[in-house]
Chains A and B, each alone.
Chain A
């Protein structure tokens, strides 16, 4: 079946530290991969996406590369800020499944000054 496994949290980092949140997936065919971010009290917002192998999605200093050989889509940022504190969700979607999304459990990030 289709599923996403992401790094357990919570993660606490100091400002300007390097961030990695691991995400691996299981899917047949060629899924699209996404990272969503949820700030406190808000809905999920699309952070970045990649639709085929070796694509790199990037936004607001965050990056993730679609690695088919390792079935991974790890989220990285070189220097985190306090404002990056949020919950991050990895997700996959396959058109063959009617555009249904499969979300990971979310990783809570807290950045301290």
Chain B
């Protein structure tokens, strides 16, 4: 299996621009998670989906952040407008009941907002 795929791997953008991060989970996984990692706050759960439905978005920082999962093989995390404090590494992870619930992480997207 190819594992969790994220794109782009690196993104540099200017403050105020829209940013879209993409994730393809492992085939057959029914849970998908978005995390943000920074030196200051460590690893934070932003939102997670079960069977394409958002279950808990309490970690989304503010209305500038939105996430969608239109089908079982694709999810997006959008930031509009972006701000310098959004600079972080964003990880997507997926899991399944059959897999024992352990989460498989993608390589991450390193976002820099200038």
Interface residues, chain A, CB within 8 Å of chain B? 32, 34, 36, 42-46, 49, 51, 89, 93, 95, 98-101, 103, 105-106
Determine which of A32, A36, A45, A89 lies in contact with B101 in the assembled complex, contact meaning CB atoms within 8 Å.
A32
A98 touches B95 (CB 8 A): no
B43 touches A43 (CB 8 A): no
Q: Sorted from nearest, which 10 A-B pairs have the closest CB atoms?
A: A43-B105, A44-B105, A105-B42, A43-B107, A99-B101, A103-B43, A46-B102, A43-B108, A99-B31, A98-B55
Q: Chain B interface residue count: which class?
A: 20 to 34
A100 touches B43 (CB 8 A): no
Contact with A along B40-77 (1 / 0, CB 8 A): 00110100101000011000000000000000000000
Q: What chain B residues lie within 8 Å of A103 (beta carbons)?
A: 42-43
B100 touches A51 (CB 8 A): yes
A34 to B42, CA, bound (A): 17
Q: Give chain B nearest CB distance to A59 CB in angstroms.
A: 12
Known interface pairs A44-B91, A100-B56. Does A49 touch B45 (Cβ–Cβ under 8 Å)? no
A36 to B35, CA, bound (A): 15
B55 touches A46 (CB 8 A): no
Q: Give chain B nearest CB distance to A64 CB in angstroms.
A: 14
Q: What chain B residues lie within 8 Å of A43 (beta carbons)?
A: 4, 91, 93, 105-108
Smallest CB gap from B43: residue in A: A103
A-B contacts, 8 listed (Cβ < 8 Å): A43-B107, A44-B91, A49-B100, A89-B43, A93-B102, A99-B50, A99-B95, A103-B42
